[in-house]
Structure 1
Amino acid sequence: MTRRATDGQQRAFFLWTIAGTSLIVAAAAGAAVVEVFQGTADAGTFVWGMIGIAALLESLVLFAVGLRLRHQYLNQVQSYASRGDYLPDDGSRRPRMPLLGDGQATQNIQHQNPGGN
């Protein structure tokens, strides 16, 4: 279960990487896209402008799909099996449960004594 959730998160990041690359292509074709919309593009500029428009649309779709995958990952119910093992005892006599997620993270919270030593 954890492996599947992590794969979903990695797919979202992968899609966002491709979307960013498509945005770079769309930005490179920016002037051609403007000429296509103005109607002043010649044949070569028209083709390059259509590539830019397609890259822009592709990046928007990939970004939306990545958001959907990330949303599914964040709303997935975590179980005891997907949380990982309990963390080793540090002598504080407090239970140290693993954080939600893939079980690889550790707690970084410093518990301070309210009495103030």
Structure 2
Amino acid sequence: MARPPSIRPVPRPERGFFARRWYGEIDFGTLFWRDTILVATAINIGFAAASLLLLAADTPGAVAFAVYMLPVPYNLFLFACVWRQAENLGPLASLATRCAVLGWLALSILL
């Protein structure tokens, strides 16, 4: 009797940095504390300092503002990822996390 052909699962390629965060494939603590609070805040501070240096060097204000706003799409992406993953937490933890990330986003854009 003939054996049926073996079916091997097709390996899925490793997802990239953004896809793993968007689909919740990394630990929530890593996403919130490391990626959002530490890394993104450091990026925001760096771009804010660069925009201040540009203003001090008599660069037009529009250029300095554009440099200041460069990390905003990344901030919005991280905000959306944390917001989505927060629904997997309990109701109180979800509310606290969403309030915290909303406050972080406001501060990162306004200050």
Per the normalisation by structure 2, the TM-score is 0.40
The structure that has the greater radius of gyration is 1
Q: TM-score, normalised by structure 1?
A: 0.38
